[in-house]
Each structure stands twice: as structure tokens, then as C-alpha cells.
């Protein structure tokens, strides 16, 4: 049995822009999900997870679609990948999948994409070696959207597949989906500047299948339709006033300004600027997610405020929102102090103690053993 891995991710900037055909700038995390896999000849898929002891799932290859609604939610991600390979005409004789995830679940760090992508690269190598990486991304996205019921864009799967160590991935979602281009690896070396990227996991889990994320997508689509543009990526700041629905105006304003922030941050990093310069962009992104997109929470806001008060150069929530994590750009010699300040603020606010850790840009999905 061989092992494949795929990482979680944090988005430096660019939330809720991917499904609006916009721009994103993620890095892959050192934290990964492992998929040990081997083929069998019995026509069944057996899935086990170290995080779900005693919950082995066994389903026939030809029963994957019919059995979906009877399966536990966690198993729909890996089995959705298998179902998508089969739907696309790839022969899968049978499989054993043994999963082990180190990406915190519900922390806004894309544990689901890490899971789906680790299975996708395993199936490619075992059953369909000619499948290109762009199709793998689409397979993993389809598995999450259509099988697991999580209405994600393409950001998470692209980050898990395409990111490289030491770099942030600048992704133009529209170009990436329509042409043989659309992404760029931009050096993201904080250590040279005496900086670190601190993640604060609030312990307040988010859940993309609970409806809030889907509502935001629908609100963005409605705003774009009212403006007569294919997606909010095509709108400009002056267009916001033409949207009659106040909720639609707020959603559009976030997407338009967030796209501008991604482009600005990417340009600063591309020219080798001191990353401290992007701090205000991160903080502005959080304010927009809090006020215009309305996906932040009291715990996320508390973490951001505490980090900034303790000297962080910028801080913001990451992921789809409604819970999850915050990132803070901090001087290396202040990391412990910032983490302690956030923990103290949480204690005084009555929140459970957060988990904090430092991340660096890591490699994307790959065979490990």
C-alpha cells in the first residue's frame, strides 16, 4: 500500500472571489491529509479514517451514486472522488482507502479539499495515470459540490494541487478555467524579513453545507445579474450604487474591493516588497468580510482585534467564514506575545482557548511513499 498526501491551505487574501471568477492568493500548509491506497479486484471501495475509528465504510463501485444519501458525511468526500472518476469513464476495479488527516476540521483551512485531493492523486496514479492536474482539480471540486453537497469554488482544490513550497499561488480563476494559463507562483519568504504567519484556530467550527455559504453565492449571482455582467469580477466600484438590493450592494462591494486587494498584494510580493506592506490589505479584507459580506463571528473579530492590538502588521479571518481561523502577519520575535495576547483576550471574552501555530508555504499534493 502506497501513500499520497495533499495539504490544507490558508488564503493570504481573496475570500469569496473564486466563485465570482476573480482572483485568489493562497499558500499550501505543512499540515496534510494522508491517503494510503491500493487497488483490489472485488468491485468494492473500503474507506477508513484514523479520525473515525470503528466507522469503516464499504460500498460497491456500481452502487456509489445510489448509496450516497446513506453514507456518513465524512465518507462522501473520498467516495465522491471515486464516483467522479467512474463517471468520467475511468476503470476502478476496487479500492482500499486508509485516511489520516492532520488539517484541523472546520478551521477554515480546507481540510475537505486536502482529503478530496489526496484521494484524487492516489486514484490518478493507481487507475488513470493520463489525467492532467486541471482535471484532477475539477474531479475534486465536483466530488465536494455534487457528492458531498459542499458548494465550494475552485480555490481550495487548486491550492491543494498547484501550490509550491516557498510561494503563494496567484490564481486568476476565469483564465484558469478557460485557458492554459491563469496562475503564477509568487515568492513568499517571510523569514528573510523577520516575519511569521500565525494561524489562530478559534475552535469555532464552520460548515459549508449549512446554507450560509450557498446564500452568499446566490446573492453574488443576483447582484451580477442585476448589473448585466457575467460575474462580479466584471463589475467596478462605481457599479455598486446601481444595485437596488442593499444586501446585494454589500456583497458586490466586498467582491470588487477584495479582487483589487488580491491584485495589489500580489504586485507588492512580486516586486519583492517588505511583506509588512501587505498588512493593511489583510486587515481591510477582514473589515470587508465582517461588514459587507457578513461572514465573520465575534470570536474571529476578537482574534483579529487582539492580534492587531498586540502588534500584528495585519490580520484577518480566512476561509468561508461563520467560524474557523484567523491569520496574523507578525514579527518573528513577537509571535509568542501575539499568540498569548489572543489567548488572554479569548479568556476574558469567555471563548474557549484558541489553538495557535505558525505556517510556511508548503508543497501541493503528491505521492509520499
Q: What's residue 156's pLDDT?
A: 94
Give the three cell numbers for residue 330. 507578525
Instruction: Determine how β-strand 95-101 pairs with β-strand 44-49.
Output: parallel
For residues 254 and 217, the answer to whether their CB atoms sit within 8 Å is no
For residues 283 and 253, the answer to whether their CB atoms sit within 8 Å is no
Predicted confidence (pLDDT) at residue 208 exceeds the cutoff of 70: no
Q: What is the pLDDT of residues 281-324, one digit of tens each?
A: 999 999 999 999 999 999 999 999 999 999 999 999 999 899 99
Residue 33 gets the label, from left (phi > 0), alpha (psi -120 to 50) or beta, of: beta
Spatial neighbors of 238 by CB under 8 A, at least 6 apart, are: none
Of 103, 9, 334, the closest CA to residue 196 belongs to: 334
Catalytic-labelled residue, pool 18, 156, 201, 292? 156
Q: Say what percent of the chain tops pLDDT 90.
A: 92
Protein fold of 2-187+364-368? Ribosomal Protein S5; domain 2 (3.30.230)
CATH number for the domain formed by residue range(s) 190-359 = 3.30.70.890
End-to-end CA distance of the chain: 9
Q: Say what percent of the chain tops pLDDT 70.
A: 98
Neighbours of 2 (CB within 10 A): 13
Intrachain domains 2-187+364-368 and 190-359 with the same fold: no
Q: What is the pLDDT of residues 52-64, one digit of tens each?
A: 999 999 999 999 9
Least confident span in 70-84, 142-156, 191-205, 308-322: 142-156
Q: What SS3 string covers the chain?
A: CEEEEEEEEEEEECCCCHHHCCEEEEEEEEEEEEEEEEECCCCEEEEEECCCCCCCEEEEHHHHHHHHHHCCHHHHHHHHHHHHHHHCCCCCCCEEEEEEECCCCCCCCCHHHHHHHHHHHHHHHHHCCCCCHHHHHHHHHHHHHHHCCCCCCCHHHHHHHHCCCCEEEEEEHHHHHHCCCCEEEEECCCHHHCEEEEEEEEEECCCHHHCHHHHHHHHHHHHHHHHCCCCHHHCCHHHHHHCCCHHHHHHHHHHHHHHHHHHHHHHHHHCCCCHHHHHHHHHHHHHHHHHCCCCCCHHHHHHHHHHHHCCCCEEEEECCCCCEEEEEEEEHHHHHHHHHHHHHHHHHHCCCCCEEEEECCECCCEECC
Predicted confidence (pLDDT) at residue 186 exceeds the cutoff of 60: yes
What pTM was estimated for this model as a whole? 0.93
Every domain of the chain and the residues it spans: 2-187+364-368, 190-359
- Mean pLDDT (the chain) is 95
Annotation says 138 is catalytic: no
Amino acid at each position: 500500500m502506497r501513500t499520497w498526501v495533499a495539504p490544507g491551505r490558508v488564503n493570504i487574501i481573496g475570500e469569496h472571489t473564486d466563485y465570482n471568477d476573480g482572483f485568489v492568493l493562497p499558500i499550501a500548509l505543512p499540515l496534510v491529509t494522508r491517503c494510503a491506497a491500493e487497488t483490489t479486484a472485488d468491485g468494492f471501495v473500503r474507506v477508513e479514517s484514523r479520525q473515525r475509528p470503528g466507522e469503516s465504510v464499504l460500498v460497491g463501485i456500481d452502487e456509489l451514486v445510489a448509496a450516497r444519501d446513506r453514507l456518513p458525511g465524512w465518507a462522501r468526500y473520498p467516495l465522491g472522488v471515486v464516483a467522479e472518476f467512474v463517471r468520467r469513464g475511468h476503470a476502478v476495479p476496487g479500492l482500499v482507502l486508509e485516511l489520516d488527516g492532520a488539517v484541523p476540521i472546520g478551521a477554515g483551512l480546507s481540510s475537505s479539499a486536502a482529503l478530496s485531493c489526496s484521494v484524487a492523486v492516489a486514484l490518478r496514479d493507481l487507475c488513470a495515470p493520463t489525467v492532467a492536474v486541471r482535471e484532477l482539480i475539477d474531479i475534486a471540486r465536483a466530488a465536494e459540490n455534487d457528492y458531498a453537497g459542499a458548494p465550494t469554488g475552485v480555490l481550495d482544490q487548486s491550492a491543494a494541487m498547484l501550490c509550491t513550497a516557498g510561494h503563494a499561488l496567484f490564481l486568476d480563476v476565469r483564465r484558469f478555467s478557460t485557458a492554459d494559463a491563469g496562475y503564477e507562483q509568487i515568492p513568499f519568504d517571510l523569514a528573510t524579513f523577520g516575519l511569521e504567519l500565525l494561524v489562530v484556530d478559534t475552535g469555532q467550527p464552520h460548515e459549508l453545507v449549512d446554507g450560509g455559504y450557498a446564500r452568499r453565492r446566490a446573492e453574488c449571482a443576483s447582484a451580477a445579474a442585476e448589473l448585466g455582467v457575467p460575474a462580479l469580477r466584471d463589475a467596478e466600484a462605481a457599479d455598486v450604487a446601481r444595485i437596488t438590493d442593499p444586501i446585494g450592494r454589500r456583497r458586490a462591494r466586498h467582491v470588487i474591493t477584495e479582487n483589487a486587494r488580491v491584485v495589489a498584494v500580489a504586485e507588492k510580493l512580486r516586486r519583492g516588497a517588505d511583506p509588512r506592506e501587505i498588512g493593511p490589505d489583510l486587515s481591510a479584507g477582514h473589515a470587508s468580510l465582517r461588514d459587507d459580506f457578513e461572514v465573520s463571528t465575534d470570536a474571529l473579530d476578537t482574534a483579529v482585534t487582539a492580534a492587531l492590538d498586540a502588534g500584528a502588521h495585519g490580520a484577518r479571518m480566512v476561509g468561508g467564514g461563520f467560524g474557523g481561523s484567523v491569520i496574523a502577519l507578525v514579527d518573528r520575535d513577537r509571535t509568542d506575545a501575539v499568540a498569548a495576547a489572543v489567548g488572554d483576550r479569548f479568556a476574558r471574552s469567555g471563548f474557549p482557548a484558541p489553538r495557535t501555530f505558525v505556517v510556511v508555504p508548503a508543497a501541493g499534493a503528491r505521492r509520499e511513499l
